[in-house]
Amino acid sequence: MPTIKNANTLPQNALNKSVKFSTTNLDNGQPFIEPYILTGPSGSFNLPLNSVTNGNTKVMVPLTTNTADGASYLKIHIPTVNTDTMYVTFAIKSSTMKDGYYDYITGIPAAYRADLRTWILDGTTSVPFVPTTFSKTLVFSVYGKDTNQTAQAIQFRVKFNAIFGNSPTQQTSTF
């Protein structure tokens, strides 16, 4: 008997950051929704990004080298046929979920936040004493599928920041 997997939460109902796309009709200046072609993530990193595609609608970015159940990931939900929004959710690998990853809905545990902060450091080993902001930026390109103008693709960035310093009271994160 096959194992029944739990349905995934819709990305808009999970903890997320979103990017909304629109195309402008040049005849009337009004925006319209069309399917979008999204490429990425890419960027310049000290450590390999190692992102993997999960079907045609998600890209998984591991935050550590661990890929077992419980490993921390960023899940990028690519806009599908009738949507104009890309979501980035905070997920862990979970064999009990239909897509293989559980999205956090109400809170992100300390262990996940620690993995995310280490990922943002991108291999930097010396943390300054004075509070310093470190960032890691994922780069994407997008263009409308109906208008199909690859030359008109726009590039955009999703940036993750964390403030590090040797003083425990100086360490904060914003995502």
CA terminus-to-terminus distance, the chain: 42
Among residues 61, 65, 46, the alpha carbon closest in space to that of 140 is found at 61
Tokens of 152: 């008109």
- pLDDT of the residue at 124: 87
Alpha-carbon span 141 to 53, nearest angstrom? 16
- pLDDT of the residue at 170: 47
DSSP tag of 150: G
3-state secondary structure of 129: coil
Q: Average pLDDT per run of 10 along the chain, which is 175 residues long? A: 79 93 85 84 93 90 96 93 87 95 94 95 85 93 79 87 72 52
Q: What is the dihedral of CA 102, 48, 173, 11, to 10 degrees?
A: -30
